[in-house]
A = this chain, B = another copy of it.
Amino acid sequence: MSLSRAPGTAALVDGVLAGEPRRIAQAISAAESGDGVPELLREIFPRTGRTRVLGLTGPPGAGKSTLALRVAQAYRRRGCTVGVVAVDPSSPFTGGAILGDRIRMAEIYTDPGVFIRSMATRGAMGGLARATSDAVDILDAAGFDVVLVETVGVGQDEVDIVKTAETVAVVLVPGLGDDIQAIKAGILEIADVFVVNKSDREGADRTAAELAMMLDLAPSRQWRPPIVRTVAPRAEGVEAVVDAMESHGGWLGTSADGGRRAVRRVRARLLALLEERFHRTLESRSPEPDGFEDAVERVRERSEDPYSAAGRLFERLVREPAVERA
């Protein structure tokens, strides 16, 4: 029942609650591995719920990392401590991570009021969402006032992850072509704030105008996402981004949307945990007679279709199935 990493749960709990960066980092690593951190979470969970969770997403090349660091600095100037959780695309074996921004923004790494962490995606379905939620709770329990979750805004998992934030900023840049239009459509409805980054580029006016037009055409919502223009490397417009996010946070507090979002966040989290366990159970149960591997073999040789095979497996696994189809 103990964590596989060196420090025991008790040491991690104490360290996290004391805000020790090394223990926080170890706790997040534990969350990324295996079955996660059930014991740690049980201990720290009552101490969570005080942090403000912000999301930042957008297509690759939009300058999200630089903007995230600038936003972190802006919150620091306002007296808040900040945790940054970056959900990067990465590899099962190379563990890709974006280093450029770190070198560029080295100063922020020496600030004890800021904790920055890249999540390694290991290809475990559901696992990344679960680990990211755990990381947010760890930083929450460690006392950070603001936690900023940064994801690439392409791919359902990544969009689902950032949607669990209280306030989501979607970062776009002028002129990235057809694919980006599709991404825009996909993330339009999750934005509480739009950021047009690299606004010194040609086409920034048009991008901002297009966004405004899309908002005009979209089903009317109580909160209309403001559109903020930034040049992140020069920190231009970054205070306005923070103002817009805080303004949305204030609105959430007075609207039913705040409560609905909290419920949605918990639902998504429980579903992710259940799905991860289900996945793990499937993988750990085999081999058994007429089990998963036999089903794979039958489907591979086309003696059984995938739906029928999955239907049989499912009925054996799950009690009182509520789905009627075989």
Contacts and interface: CB of A to CB of B under 8 A. Distances in A.
Interface of A: 1, 35-38, 41-42, 45-46, 48-49, 59-62, 64-65, 88-101, 121, 123, 125-126, 128, 133, 152, 154-158, 160, 176-189, 219, 262-263, 266-267, 269-271, 273-275, 277-282, 284-285, 292, 295-296, 299-300, 302, 305-311, 313-314, 316-319, 321-326
Contacts of A180: 60-61
A274 B61 CA distance: 35
Q: How many copies does the complex hold?
A: 2
A89 B270 contact: no
10 contacts: A36-B307, A46-B302, A61-B176, A92-B189, A96-B183, A96-B184, A98-B181, A152-B155, A266-B306, A270-B295
Nearest to A104: B178
A88 B162 CA distance: 19
A7 B48 CA distance: 52
Contacts of A60: 59-60, 154, 176-177, 179-180, 182-183
A262 B302 CA distance: 12
B65 A284 contact: no
A266 B296 contact: yes
Contacts of A281: 318, 321-323
Contacts of A285: 322
Given A89-B186, A91-B185, A263 B45 contact: no
The residue in A266, A292, A309 that gathers the most chain B C-beta atoms within 10 A of its C-beta is A266
A201 B287 CA distance: 52
Majority SS of interface residues in chain A?
Answer: helix
Nearest to A259: B300
B317 A185 contact: no
Contacts of A125: 126, 156, 160, 271, 275
Contacts of A188: 91, 94
A266 B300 contact: yes
A321 B319 CA distance: 11
Contacts of A319: 316-319
A225 B305 CA distance: 33
Contacts of A158: 154-155
Contacts of A45: 302, 305-306
Q: When A and B form their complex, which 8 residue pairs have the shortest distance between CB atoms, in order from nearest?
A: A155-B155, A96-B185, A273-B310, A60-B179, A45-B305, A38-B307, A154-B154, A100-B178
B266 A271 contact: no
B280 A278 contact: no
